[in-house]
Homo-oligomer: A and B are copies of this chain.
Amino acid sequence: MVPRFLDLAVLVVSLWLLVSSSVGERSTPFQLTEKQQCRLQRITAAKPSQRIQHEGGETELWNERDGQFQCAGVAAMRNILRPNALSLPNFHHYPRLVFIERGFGYISVISPGCAETYEAGRTQTTRESREKWETTERGRERDLHQKVHRIRKGDIVAIPAGAVHWCYNAGKEDLIAISINDLNHQSNQLDQKFRAFYLAGGVSKKGGQQEYEEETIFYNILKEFDTNLLAEAFNIPEEIVRQMQKGGEERGLSIIAQEKMSFARPDEQEEQGREGSGNGLEETYCSMKISTNLENRRDADIYSRQAGKVNVVDLHKLPVLKYMDMSAERGNLFPNALVSPDWSMQGHTIVYVTRGEAQIQIANHNGESLMNDRVNKGDMLVVPQYYVSTARAGESGFEWVAFKTTGWPMRNPLAGYTSVMRGMPLQVITNSYQMSPRQAEGLKMNRGGQSFLFSPGRERQF
């Protein structure tokens, strides 16, 4: 019988992600208020409004009723894990994209139907793929489980809807992660509420401020389950089930591990080698890459010696993002440099400031200014789809990570080499703005070969 299940598992998982997107494109018809329809009067950079303490760290939540987050259909959170802490296994009904702001550790995203693949001995680490459970003494000594991924500062980690995941801080400093949860994702037929299902731990009372008092959001799913049924399903004594249920919510969302943990994980080299391989359709899910690092200067998608750089991770670099329909960018602006005024054609953008400061302006579709503020480290804000925005770095430069509710983000810049102005004939510009051909040429050409990121200063370069 075991071979039958193995076949089933391989079949099942290789198609899971494919299906979750291309077929599960069912609509999620939630009732939105006027606010949620992105009729924003004003956008203000926000800090977290709620903090939940747990044994191994804390979780900060942005106010999901803030109009900008409702417009984008996302919930934002910041997780802090202390050294040697373990975030307890949980899943949620929407995809989550995570940016590792600081620290290093391990994460495991458990795929449905993937049999355990990696094996950890007690004193040494070996790896055998697709090995089935063995009942020999030798087999008993091993722990077979699914792949554990190393995470470090600058990583973007993709967690698909419905997958169970846990995370461990293996470093000496706090492990800090910024997460965006896409509540509007097409695969979600449930509702638009932000919550997570915990297999252990959980929080059932409000964790902090008044904002969320009417609802608990981090549930323990085993707590009230029929003890007898669970015992029979796992084929274990009822007292162990009761222990699993009882311990539930006292521990919160994370715990401090009793001893330092170490995991069998694939050879780093091998994981790198898989990076550019194909379009995600022929990859089997069990071996699919779920993270990539955005700190590498050499890989910058946009690089300007005078202005800064931007690294993008989209469905092309990380195929799992095709199924999550999300993406991210990591940006760095030099002091006083600018981002071209532009609009995003495919989705909303959620910006989180990681260092420095900038003046950010977002133009109302009414021509008025929705936002024209200085933002600092720790601020988060939403730039809605099609809205024109721009940024100018402060004296100490500006660093950010931006999450997008689309798998392939497209910027439509007003100025620069690949801009809308550059695409228009001179005659159209002179007539549209009633300016001279020389002025129109300046408007089209003065940024020369610069694209997206502009050096400071306003002297004509031609």
B26 and A29: CB pair below 8 A? no
B162 and A412: CB pair below 8 A? yes
B258 and A26: CB pair below 8 A? no
Q: Which residues of B contact A5 (CB under 8 A)?
A: 302, 417-418, 449, 451
What's the least CB distance linking A54 to chain B, in Å? Answer: 13
A423 to B433, CA, bound (A): 61
Interface centre among A185, A221, A423 (most CB of B within 10 A): A423
Residue-wise, chain A 218-260 has the 8 Å CB interface mask toward B (1 for contact) of 0111111110011111111100100110011000000101100
Residues facing B in A440-457 (CB within 8 A) are 441-443, 445-451, 454, 456-457
A51 to B358, CA, bound (A): 43
B30 and A234: CB pair below 8 A? no
A47 located at the interface, meaning its Cβ lies under 8 Å from any Cβ of chain B in the complex: no
Residues facing B in A295-316 (CB within 8 A) are 301-305, 315-316
Q: Which residues of B contact A459 (CB under 8 A)?
A: 235
Query: How many identical chains are in the complex?
Result: 3
A164 and B224: CB pair below 8 A? no
Q: Which residues of B contact A193 (CB under 8 A)?
A: 37
User: A19-B346, A19-B408, A346-B19 given as contacts; is B434 within 8 A of A386 (CB)?
Assistant: no
Residue-wise, chain A 3-18 has the 8 Å CB interface mask toward B (1 for contact) of 0110011001001100
A338 and B229: CB pair below 8 A? yes
Q: Which residues of B contact A96 (CB under 8 A)?
A: none
Q: Which residues of B contact A73 (CB under 8 A)?
A: 29, 189
A384 to B190, CA, bound (A): 7
User: A115-B417, A164-B412, A231-B458 given as contacts; is B225 within 8 A of A341 (CB)?
Assistant: yes
B345 and A161: CB pair below 8 A? yes
Q: Which residues of B contact A261 (CB under 8 A)?
A: 425, 427-428, 431
Which of these, B148, B231, B433, contacts A243 with CB under 8 Å? B433
User: A25-B186, A110-B423, A345-B20 given as contacts; is B9 within 8 A of A433 (CB)?
Assistant: no
Interface centre among A21, A114, A144 (most CB of B within 10 A): A144
Closest B residue, CB atoms, query A323: B23
A88 and B364: CB pair below 8 A? no
A73 to B120, CA, bound (A): 45
Q: Which of A149-157, A173-181, A196-204 contacts B (4 or more CB under 8 A)?
A: A196-204
A38 and B190: CB pair below 8 A? yes
Q: Which residues of B contact A120 (CB under 8 A)?
A: 425
A414 located at the interface, meaning its Cβ lies under 8 Å from any Cβ of chain B in the complex: yes
B195 and A367: CB pair below 8 A? no
A330 located at the interface, meaning its Cβ lies under 8 Å from any Cβ of chain B in the complex: no
A423 to B115, CA, bound (A): 7
Q: Which residues of B contact A230 (CB under 8 A)?
A: 341
Residue-wise, chain A 403-429 has the 8 Å CB interface mask toward B (1 for contact) of 001111011101101101111111110
A368 located at the interface, meaning its Cβ lies under 8 Å from any Cβ of chain B in the complex: yes
A50 located at the interface, meaning its Cβ lies under 8 Å from any Cβ of chain B in the complex: no
A145 and B425: CB pair below 8 A? yes
A123 located at the interface, meaning its Cβ lies under 8 Å from any Cβ of chain B in the complex: no
A349 to B258, CA, bound (A): 40
Task: Supply 7 further A-B pairs (C-beta < 8 A) apart from A113-B411, A261-B428.
Answer: A1-B303, A133-B448, A225-B367, A226-B361, A229-B341, A229-B390, A232-B454
Chosen A-B contacts, 5 in total, with CB atoms closer than 8 Å, are: A1-B304, A15-B316, A25-B186, A162-B343, A166-B432
